[in-house]
Structure 1
């Protein structure tokens, strides 16, 4: 696990990139032990209780929101979903919205003092919907980013397995950066790739480096067992319709003000957005000129959009 001094080393650069000058808000790593013994971890920004909670997507971690939160300027909580960041992996590898939402609810109850504006990206967006549907008293407003039910939040599974094929640990982070860049990942520059790799990996006691998130290790195992991978893909196909229906049920049950922000080159197509609006005509739908990771590609524009959506609901 990284130390606080290490993991916050990029914040000054992040702040400059979104035009934030002056002193940075205090940021701390918080964690708790869940009833089953797993650890849930998060980042808490600001010197007053959080008013906004951020939930990241598959394969990412709480630090993916750093620039957006700094640009937004609100006291905030960014949770490491189970299986990601400094939160424990699930032994059953059940990383669905319904499985993740109860842990997020536990974190919100522990680390905030008022109902939250919840912002969720991809898998985090579906988790936010499950949260708002199951414990509406915790959510004042829900903003979902570039996902709707029926879209696989782990899209591109074959490419992910190819990227993570091979060893699950490495001699150095530099080798992970080289591999990410070779696959066209990491944000396009070595500096961005180094940040992403640093915050999404850890150095074990034996000095070897491994990815923090469970998906990397699962993908590596599947790459070594193609027959098992094919079986799991078939099972996922069979479950997709059920998960889609469950997701739409969650969307229908959300009583808090609801918005969808999609990337114009992201996962959510215009047809997907139209279906979302058909099912929830009261929801606000906004498109930004980005890909799927809206918060990483355009954190300032996203923060401005969140501010505008929040202001509308506060009138």
Structure 2
């Protein structure tokens, strides 16, 4: 197995942008969207997608486990802001980590290097699931480069064994498939999204063809036996401290929860108790809001960012 990430089945990775724009009601010409590439100190490469990249990014988006930067295409098209969506290490077209360490702390160190190279002004960090936990740590490590951190359907109180078991089973329970339709059917059985076309689009951009003609996931997670966090019941609890430190440093935090997602009332209540004054917005949809409800998610992000008086604090 190669340690490098593999691209999608076709070189035309932007083939869904027009339909993505139509889906979120964006008219007119599409913004320029281009691949980015950043070489880290250890010579691994992190790749991403720059939306309207002639301008510095106002927002950096980090996807969840088993997804990739394209997951945010519809949301970023709806937002219409210069943005950078990253393929986290081990995902999309970014290199795989030889140590297979995809815990938030390891990912945050990699993302912080990219932020050092690309952020000319403080950016909003928007992270879904694993990307949200990573964003919280990046904000604590680079508060001068972050204006706000927004977590999507995740908090440090989540227990992978209790709250994410279905996601991990979906990724690892079956590792190769005969067709995209077969994966779509499996995704719907696991409650991964509701819109069949949106699910098929995400799968097409997240799989590759094996030598025997069968499809497999392109991300490293699907080829590992254990998820990040191991068997600890609450492996991310220390990230609460990172969010509190960021808040004291002037970086506000916000939570966008899915009403049919990973967070129950107890987890949302814990967020409110630990981070009083940090907004919570609830949107109708499943865990992958950026794929299932991109227009509503973009509107929620836009309203949260409007609360910031200026990009620089």
Is residue 51 of structure 1 aligned with residue 46 of structure 2?
Answer: no
Q: Which has the higher helix share?
A: 1
- The Cα of 1:197 is off from its aligned counterpart by 1.8
Aligned to 1:160: 168
8 Å CA contact retained: 1:163, 1:183: no
- Aligned partner of 1:112 among 77, 97, 119: 119
What is the CA–CA distance in structure 1 between the aligned matches of 2:9 and 2:100, rounded to whole Å? Answer: 27
What does the per-residue CA deviation read over 1:82-140, in whole Å, with 9 as the maximum and x for residues that have no partner?
Answer: 11111111122211111111111111222332111111111111111101111111111
8 Å CA contact retained: 1:123, 1:153: no
Flag the 1:209–1:250 CA change in 2: closer, same or farther, 3 A.
same
User: Structure 2: where are the runs of 5+ without partners?
Assistant: 1-6
Which gives a bigger RCO, structure 1 or 2 (Cα 8 Å, sep 6+)? Answer: 2
CA RMSD of aligned residues (A): 2.5
Aligned to 1:180: 184
What is the CA–CA distance in structure 1 between the aligned matches of 2:29 and 2:142, rounded to whole Å? Answer: 36
Secondary structure of 1:85's aligned partner: coil
Q: TM-score, normalised by structure 1?
A: 0.85
Aligned to 1:280: 275
- Aligned partner of 1:308 among 288, 303, 307: 303
Flag the 1:96–1:6 CA change in 2: closer, same or farther, 3 A.
same
User: Structure 1: where are the runs of 5+ without partners?
Assistant: 223-228
8 Å CA contact retained: 1:4, 1:29: no
Flag the 1:268–1:31 CA change in 2: closer, same or farther, 3 A.
same
Aligned to 1:226: none
Is residue 246 of structure 1 aligned with residue 238 of structure 2?
Answer: yes
Flag the 1:161–1:281 CA change in 2: closer, same or farther, 3 A.
closer
- Aligned partner of 1:271 among 253, 266, 273: 266
Aligned to 2:76: 69
8 Å CA contact retained: 1:51, 1:75: yes
Deviates more, 1:180-189 or 1:3-12: 180-189
Q: TM-score, normalised by structure 2?
A: 0.86
- The Cα of 1:32 is off from its aligned counterpart by 2.0
Aligned to 1:257: 252
Is residue 236 of structure 1 aligned with residue 230 of structure 2?
Answer: yes
1:64-213 to 2 correspondences below 5 Å: 64-152=71-159, 155-157=163-165, 160-161=168-169, 164-165=172-173, 168=175, 175-184=179-188, 187-188=193-194, 190-203=196-209, 209-213=215-219
What does the per-residue CA deviation read over 1:244-278, in whole Å, with 9 as the maximum and x for residues that have no partner?
Answer: 33111112111301111111111112221111111
The number of equivalent residue pairs is 297
